[in-house]
């Protein structure tokens, strides 16, 4: 139990001052609670001694009023601090994890499923947000309150005090056993919850395919099973907790009875006065109330422990090593020097060497799986090469500050992702602080201003998650506008027109020409016009460059490039 409390304390490292204040406030709350019992003791003593007076009555009433008022004030301060601790920790951890993911290599991210990451950022941190501060303060405050009560009783009667201390020790022994017993089922409950979130997300993301192929029964079955499994694990956790809860209550009840018996025995043998005996009988019903209150929070410790473990699991992911160079490059020529890269055991690039000249278009062609996209991803440091170096302006890109490096690169991919926001904000994502006029100018260059103005709210139109309300060509042009607005000196186009219909292709190609004017441009291409106009063409096969040069040079050689061009020309001539 102490280990988990320490983990919660370390997890909330930026909120220690507020937690200390809350614990301190609850200490004073416990003292204010003792005033009620002191008033009761004075009243009982006066009644037995037939010494009731107006002064005593006023004193007792004032003690109770001060006690109640003090508890109200202390509860208000404690609640305020707890709320700030919970929301503060959750905010910091969500932002920290989100920022951490920016610097995690893509290969490591692929080892996590979407459900696990989503559950961590929402449900898991949500549990920590609501439970951790409350549990930490209630347990510490409950222990403090019970110890103060035990000390108070011990001061009045040491024999009764020993019984109270033994009760506290036994209670925490049982609680520690409970923690160990429920640990495994708590982990299984967390896994079931993550799997349920993953299945729901997969179902929603794939609803179009599910409808198209009539897979409702099969997919419904998967979701039902994961939801049912989550329900079973939560139920199992609660059922397994019940005997321990009854055990804790039984201990407190039996020892409360033991205190009553001890007080009566001492009264009968004359070692305890009547007033103190009656007061002890009353105290036996409330002496462990703070401990019982803390016990209800202790049951959440395993849940919090598992939640913190999952957050720390993501936080422990390795990050891309950040370079120290914060100055922008003077030139934008790129060199791949003996670069190799593997996805696990599968080698994708093998001792690759290439030079990409500044302000020149380099087209990369090759069969699917030849390493074209990987080549571009390594430049943006989505991964780092397993061997060799990539140089920008003659300097290893690992030596550049990662954010500075990314500022020099704009990427337009085949699969465009747009955020569930306005068109203006989606384009403005290319450069923070861009004005409305700059966004419109970028949209015009990308040939998307006209269709944007035809939408109901123009640039303020919400486009839905992933840009679901737009066509493929419209989404592609918005992504190009975003890249134009960024105005980075290096452009990566990864088959940006591969899935575009012919009606949109001309406008997209015109937008692309605007994008890569006077830029160092890398194009993963299959369109003949784009390939022919490139200053350099790299032909990849099985992770190696087997041909390089200009179109006029390569077309004369009997090789992969000429066969590729011949096949493309035949395909473009084909008609129904």
pLDDT at residue number 138: 76
Render pLDDT for 473-517 as a digit per residue (tens, 0 to 9).
Answer: 788 888 888 988 998 999 998 866 655 555 666 666 777 777 777
Contacts of 148 (CB under 8 A, 6+ apart): 27, 30, 31, 34
Distance CA 19, CA 24 (A): 8
DSSP state of 462: B
| Cα gap 179→186, rounded to integer Å | 10
Kindly give the interhelix angle for 125-156 and 289-298, rounded to the nearest 10 degrees. 160
Which residues 6+ apart lie within 8 Å of 141 measured at CB?
Answer: 23, 26, 27, 29, 30, 78, 290, 294
Percent of the chain residues topping a pLDDT of 70:
91
- More confident position, 287 or 341: 341
**521 within 8 A of 491, measured Cβ to Cβ:** yes
- Quote the tokens at residue 266: 């001492």
**Which pLDDT belongs to residue 309?**
83
- pLDDT tens per residue across span 153-192: 888 888 888 888 888 888 888 888 887 888 888 888 878 8
DSSP character at residue 122: I
3-state helix/strand/coil string of 36-75: HHHHHHHHHHHHHCCCCCHHHHHHHHHHHHHHHHHHHHHH
The length of the chain in residues reads 576
User: How far apart are the C-alpha atoms of 131 and 300, rounded to whole Å?
Assistant: 7
Q: Of the ranges 47-51, 198-202, 327-331, which is most confident?
A: 327-331
Compute the distance between CA of residue 154 and CA of residue 324 in angstroms, rounded to an integer. 64
Report the half-sphere exposure of 65 (CA within 13 A, side-chain side): 6
User: Tokens 């975003």 belong to which residue?
Assistant: 482
What is the rounded average pLDDT of the residues 14-30? 85
Residue pair 398/321 in contact by the 8 Å Cβ criterion: yes
Q: pTM of the full predicted structure? A: 0.70
Residue 94 has pLDDT above 80, yes or no: yes
- CA 338 vs. chain centroid, Å, equals 37
| Range scoring the smallest mean pLDDT among 91-95, 104-108, 318-322 | 104-108
User: Token pair of 415, please?
Assistant: 């699969």
Beta bridge partners of 493: 412, 523
Contact yes or no for 488/522 (Cβ under 8 A): no
Q: How far apart (Å, rounded) are the C-alpha atoms in residues 112 and 122?
A: 15
What is the helix (H) or strand (E) element at residue 116, kind and residue range? helix 114-119
């Amino acid at each position: 139990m102490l280990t988990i409390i320490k983990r919660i304390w370390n997890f909330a490292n930026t909120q220690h001052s507020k937690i200390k204040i809350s614990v301190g406030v609850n200490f004073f709350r416990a003292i204010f609670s003792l005033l009620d019992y002191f008033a009761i003791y004075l009243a009982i003593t006066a009644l037995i001694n037939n010494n009731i007076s107006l002064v005593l009555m006023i004193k007792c009433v004032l003690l109770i009023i001060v006690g109640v008022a003090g508890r109200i004030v202390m509860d208000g301060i404690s609640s305020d601090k707890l709320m700030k601790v919970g929301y503060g920790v959750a905010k910091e951890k969500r932002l920290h994890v989100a920022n951490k993911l920016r610097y995690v290599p893509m290969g490591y991210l692929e080892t996590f499923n979407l459900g696990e990451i989503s559950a961590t950022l929402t449900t898991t941190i949500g549990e920590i947000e609501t439970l951790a501060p409350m549990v930490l303060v209630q347990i510490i405050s409950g222990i403090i309150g019970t110890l103060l009560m035990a000390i108070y009783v011990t001061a009045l009667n040491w024999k009764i005090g020993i019984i109270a201390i033994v009760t506290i020790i036994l209670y925490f022994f049982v609680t520690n056993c409970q923690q160990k017993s429920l640990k495994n089922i708590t982990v299984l409950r967390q896994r079931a919850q993550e799997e349920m979130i993953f299945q729901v997300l997969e179902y929603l993301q794939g609803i179009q395919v599910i409808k198209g192929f009539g897979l409702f029964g099969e997919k419904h079955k998967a979701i039902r099973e994961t939801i049912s499994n989550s329900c079973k694990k939560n139920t199992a956790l609660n059922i397994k907790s019940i005997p321990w809860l009854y055990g804790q209550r039984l201990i407190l009840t039996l020892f409360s009875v033991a205190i009553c018996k001890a007080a009566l025995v001492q009264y009968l043998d004359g070692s305890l006065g009547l007033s103190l005996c009656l007061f002890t009988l009353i105290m036996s019903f409330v002496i462990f109330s703070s401990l019982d209150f803390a016990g209800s929070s202790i049951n959440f410790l395993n849940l919090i422990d598992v939640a913190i473990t999952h957050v720390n699991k993501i936080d422990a992911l390795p990050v891309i090593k950040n370079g120290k160079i914060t100055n922008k490059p003077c030139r934008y020529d790129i060199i791949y020097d003996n670069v190799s890269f593997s996805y696990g055991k599968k080698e994708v690039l093998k001792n690759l060497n290439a030079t990409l000249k500044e302000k020149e278009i380099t087209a990369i062609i090759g069969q699917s799986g030849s390493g074209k996209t990987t080549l571009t991803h390594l430049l943006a440091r989505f991964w780092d090469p397993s061997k060799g170096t990539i140089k920008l302006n003659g300097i290893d890109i690992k030596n550049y500050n990662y954010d500075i490096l990314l500022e020099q690169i704009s990427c337009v991919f085949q699969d465009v992702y747009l955020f569930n926001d306005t068109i203006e904000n989606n384009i403005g994502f290319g450069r923070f602080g861009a004005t409305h006029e700059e966004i419109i100018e970028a949209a015009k260059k990308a040939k998307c201003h006209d269709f944007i103005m035809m939408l109901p709210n123009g640039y303020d139109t919400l486009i839905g998650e992933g840009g679901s309300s737009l066509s493929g060509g419209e989404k592609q042009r918005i992504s190009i506008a975003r890249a134009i607005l960024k105005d980075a000196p290096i452009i990566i186009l990864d088959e940006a027109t591969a899935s575009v219909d012919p009606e949109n292709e001309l406008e997209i190609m015109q937008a692309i020409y605007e994008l890569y004017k006077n830029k160092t441009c890398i194009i993963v291409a299959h369109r003949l016009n784009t390939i022919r106009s490139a200053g350099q063409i790299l032909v990849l096969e099985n992770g190696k460059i087997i041909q390089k040069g200009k179109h006029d040079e390569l077309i004369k050689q009997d090789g992969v490039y000429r066969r590729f061009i011949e096949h493309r020309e035949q395909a473009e001539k084909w008609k129904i």
